């Protein structure tokens, strides 16, 4: 007797939607609270709180609608057999074009082209509303419609250039992998991730943003001095024009071994009240590097990736699994898609676990910056960025624990204020 794989997947998708909607309702109630959390009274201005509250409530209402539409589409696609129908139609298109429909790579690329078109069409209304209504209403969106469309075209172009060789390689590996398939798939994805981490900041990111060296001056000198004191191999220090798209702010670092780069958003430089606040943010980021958080996260992702491929190899030849989803054949890509759906429960648990680890890393990086003497400016920077980004001031603890990879501001400030806190160990 065939197991009801499809019914189980649909059931869990709906249960997760109900659970996450419950969390969203709790968070929406927290966002409606008319007063600041007590620890933030006198720290965050009332004007910024009111703006933050309005922005967060707008985002929350949008989330309810977006997630409702998404679950309806996803369940309909699975329940009504649209996935196998789409696979069949993509094969007919290949045959109509005079190509070899028996070639799984060509058939798969035709299928993915249709999926990409469908995704662009269904995502477009939400992207437009998010950027040009909500973000614009609250002063964040800086994109013109022309720039928005150019970004979409560039993204599609990159998918057309990068997608076919990657998909072709995965199909070939699965077809030829034999008993060591999981190792081969993991090895390919490992090399690909290293390659993309190397090429993305050099070739891809500049297609969307302009990176310029941070000008000589006090800020540059302080960052270079801090990096040198920690033996951080800083090679380049950039400012990126994030303000061309949004007034949200950020900072990050990238690079391998002795070739590290730090990138500051121009909005971060503009929003922080002084250079000490910016340097404190960089001290936090350097804490992640010094404490090997990036390496630990990368290793965790690689282990999870290998386990996923191992699980896929156990079910890829299951005819019952494919038939449950409406397929008479067993295409490689479809097998990967179906497998991802069947392990959704595990993925949610893993995501929750990774969030807990990420939050612990954030506390540790804050404590690292504090030990360097940046407690006061980091505290001021966190408040400034919270205000400028209109981040939620009131958060529901259940929602925060499940969704947030960074601790809420109240918790971070409390940790910074605690002398001899365990978070500093």
Q: Which residues are annotated as a binding site for Zn(2+)?
A: 284, 288, 362
Of residues 285, 387, 388, 396, which has the active-site annotation? 285
Which of 370, 362, 360 has its CA nearest to residue 419?
370
Other Cβ atoms less than 10 A from the Cβ of 149: the count is 11
State the Rg of the chain over Cα: 24
* Dihedral sign for Cα atoms in the order 370, 374, 375, 381: negative
Which pairs with CB-CB distance under 8 Å and at least 24 residues apart come from 268-277? 268/385, 269/219, 269/239, 270/243, 271/384, 271/385, 271/388, 272/381, 272/384, 272/385, 273/380, 273/384, 274/377, 275/218, 275/219, 275/222, 276/222, 276/374, 276/377, 277/377, 277/378, 277/380, 277/381, 277/384
Sign (positive or negative) of CA dihedral 408, 409, 412, 414: negative
Q: In whole angstroms, what is the distance from residue 24 CA to residue 29 CA?
A: 9
Specify whether the CB–CB gap between 190 and 302 falls below 8 A. Answer: yes
285 belongs to the catalytic site: yes
Asked if 222 and 275 count as a contact pair (C-beta separation under 8 A), the reply is yes
What gap in Å lies between CA 253 and CA 227, rounded to an integer? 12
Tokens 């990096």 found at: 227
C-alpha torsion sign, points 130, 136, 137, 140: positive
Catalytic, out of 366, 387, 396, 411: 366
- Give the integer Cα–Cα distance in Å for 244 and 267: 10
42: left (phi over 0), alpha (psi -120 to 50) or beta: left
Q: How far apart are CA 1 and CA 281, in angstroms?
A: 59
CA within 13 Å, CB half, 16: 20
- Residue 271 and residue 388 in contact, taking contact as beta carbons nearer than 8 Å: yes
The two structure tokens encoding residue 182: 């999981």
Any idea which residues carry the catalytic annotation?
A: 285, 366
């Amino acid at each position: 007797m065939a197991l009801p794989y499809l019914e189980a997947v649909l059931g869990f998708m709906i249960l997760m939607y109900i659970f996450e909607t419950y969390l969203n309702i709790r968070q929406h109630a927290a966002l409606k609270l008319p007063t600041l959390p007590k620890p933030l009274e006198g720290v965050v201005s009332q004007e910024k709180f009111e703006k933050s509250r309005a922005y967060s409530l707008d985002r929350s209402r949008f989330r309810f609608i977006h997630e409702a539409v998404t679950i309806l589409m996803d369940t309909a696609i699975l329940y009504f057999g649209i996935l196998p129908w789409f696979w069949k139609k993509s094969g007919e298109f290949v045959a109509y074009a005079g190509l070899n429909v028996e070639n799984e790579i060509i058939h798969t690329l035709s299928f993915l082209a249709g999926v990409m078109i469908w995704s662009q069409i269904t995502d477009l209304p939400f992207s437009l509303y998010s950027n040009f209504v909500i973000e614009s209403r609250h002063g964040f969106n800086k994109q013109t419609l022309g720039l928005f469309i150019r970004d979409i075209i560039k993204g599609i172009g990159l998918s057309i250039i990068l997608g076919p060789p990657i998909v072709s390689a995965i199909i070939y590996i699965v077809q030829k992998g034999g008993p060591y398939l999981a190792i081969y798939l993991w090895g390919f994805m490992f090399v690909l991730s290293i390659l993309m981490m190397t090429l993305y900041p050099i070739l891809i990111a500049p297609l969307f943003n302009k990176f310029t060296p941070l000008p000589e001056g006090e800020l540059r000198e302080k960052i270079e001095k801090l990096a040198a004191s920690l033996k951080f191999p800083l090679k380049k220090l950039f400012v990126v024009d994030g303000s061309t798209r949004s007034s949200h702010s950020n900072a990050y670092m990238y690079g391998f071994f002795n070739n590290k780069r730090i990138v500051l958003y121009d909005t971060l430089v503009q929003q922080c009240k002084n250079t000490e606040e910016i340097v404190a943010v960089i001290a936090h980021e350097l804490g992640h590097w010094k404490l090997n958080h990036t390496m630990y996260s990368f290793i965790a992702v690689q282990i999870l990736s290998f386990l996923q491929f191992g699980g896929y190899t156990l079910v890829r030849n299951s005819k019952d699994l494919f038939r449950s989803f409406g397929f008479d054949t067993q295409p490689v890509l479809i097998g990967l898609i179906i497998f991802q759906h069947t392990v959704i429960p595990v993925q949610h648990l893993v995501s929750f676990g990774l969030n807990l680890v990420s939050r612990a890393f954030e506390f540790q990086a804050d404590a690292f910056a504090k030990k360097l003497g940046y407690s006061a400016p980091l505290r001021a920077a966190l408040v400034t960025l919270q205000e400028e980004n209109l981040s939620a001031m009131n958060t529901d603890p259940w929602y925060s624990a499940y969704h947030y990879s960074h601790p809420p501001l109240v918790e971070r400030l409390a940790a910074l204020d605690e002398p001899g806190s365990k978070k500093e160990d």
